[in-house]
Amino acid sequence: MDAAPALAGDASSTQTPVLAPRPSLGLTVRALSAHDRQLLSLPPGTQGVVVVSVTPGGTAESSGLVPGAVIQKVNGDAITGKADFARATSGLQGAVTLLVLSQDPRDSQLYQSAKTLRL
């Protein structure tokens, strides 16, 4: 007696669904802490996420993002923490614009700039 073929979604199915790869920004972030604000000489109440690392040769690095930069907005949406960042960056395609605070190592001044990343 032949077994019936497994149906899609059937618990007995051994097939693994194929998911389309999600474009990557090529960076890792963490919540901006009071210690980060002090270390980066940011004004009290500054919100966002701090870039912890960038993937060598990745999208973030090619746009000039560096560890220590603070992402305050994604496509115009304010970022107050990691959850906001995850929400704002999920499902992105094409290009994304980040509003970034970064410190110039030559003079320790803070600069705000827009970075466009092409996915």
Distance CA 112, CA 42 (A): 12
- 5 lies in some domain: no
- The yes-or-no verdict on residue 93 having pLDDT over 90 is no
53, 100, 54: which is closest to 75 by C-alpha? Answer: 100
Task: Report the alpha-carbon distance of residue 89 to residue 32 in Å, rounded.
Answer: 17
Residue type, 30: R
Cα 43 to the center of its chain, rounded Å: 23
Domain residues for 86?
27-118
Does pTM surpass 0.85? no
34, with CB counted inside 10 A (0-12, 13-18, 19+), is: exposed
User: Is position 40 within any domain?
Assistant: yes
Q: What is the pLDDT of residues 94-115, one digit of tens each?
A: 889 999 998 877 887 889 999 9
Q: What is the CATH number of the domain that holds 50?
A: 2.30.42.10
* 3-state DSSP assignment of residue 92: coil
Indicate the number of domains in the chain: 1
